[in-house]
Amino acid sequence: MSRRVFVVEDETQIAQILHDYLVNAGYRVEIFGDGRSALTAFQESPPDLFLLDLMLPEVDGLTVCKEVRKTSEVPIIMLTAKAEEIDRLLGLELGADDYICKPFSPREVVARAKANLRRWPAAGESGEKESEGLFHQPESQRYLYDGKPLSLTNTEYKILALMHDSPGRVYSRAQLLDLCYDPDQDVSDRAIDSHVKNLRKKLKEVHPAGDLIHSVYGVGYRYER
């Protein structure tokens, strides 16, 4: 399941921009134009992250933050119109995790959202898997990296799913052929190499820190962080 983000912001244009960027980053986003409806929705089904504007109709951001903190440690990023406001908010010890001052770059907000979500385990997921960055969604046959879906071919997906399920285990080209292709497909070892090469390239783009799929000389491949 992709992570759920509540955007609580009464300026519809800002809310819409945040919505678009966050959806693009792979999140499910719900917009609330006032504090009261956000709190009601939170009580029904809490999100994984709040982007919470300070000045809101009905119930303001301060109150929403305090109410949420009574029952939940869900990450809260406060949006404020004035930089000097941040010092005052910090002094109130609201328990917000992060503060962003308007005007902001939507990219910056997405980066901060990701950073805050990383320490918050997804429902039904262990924290370890989340911090790894690579996340398998078998029900939709796809992989996410930091919440963003990877664009993989069917074969690349099968190869990754096989190796990712058994980290450290070495798979020979013949095994990959047997396990990732239909028996009637005519595929060479060389084709496997080229699929793995493309897969590694895609993983490298999202995880530049190092290869996740390693070559084992003369044998095949293994997945390891």
Residues of this chain that bind Ca ion (CB under 5 A): 10, 53, 55
The runs of H, that is alpha helices, within 45-153 are 61-69, 83-92, 106-118, 127-132
The Cα–Cα gap between 190 and 126 comes to 37
Residue 53: CB minimum distance to Ca ion, A: 4
Measured from the CB atom, is 11 or 67 closer to Ca ion? 11
31 DSSP β-pair partners: 7
One-character DSSP codes across 15-49: HHHHHHHHHHTT-EEEEESSHHHHHHHHHHS--SE
How does 88-108 read in b/e, with b if 16+ C-beta sit within 10 Å? ebeeeebebbbbbeeeeebee
Measured from the CB atom, is 15 or 68 closer to Ca ion? 15
Residue 35: CB minimum distance to Ca ion, A: 10
Measured from the CB atom, is 17 or 162 closer to Ca ion? 17
Residue 14: CB minimum distance to Ca ion, A: 8
Structure tokens of 156? 């690349």
Measured from the CB atom, is 10 or 132 closer to Ca ion? 10
Return the closest-CA partner of residue 51 out of 111, 2, 132: 111
Residue 54: CB minimum distance to Ca ion, A: 7
Residue 84: CB minimum distance to Ca ion, A: 17
Q: Residue with CB nearest Ca ion? A: 55
Measured from the CB atom, is 53 or 130 closer to Ca ion? 53
Measured from the CB atom, is 12 or 126 closer to Ca ion? 12
Residue 56: CB minimum distance to Ca ion, A: 6
The Cα–Cα gap between 197 and 212 comes to 12
Cis status, amide bond into 121, omega within 30 of 0? no
100 DSSP β-pair partners: 79
Find where tokens 């699929």 sit.
195
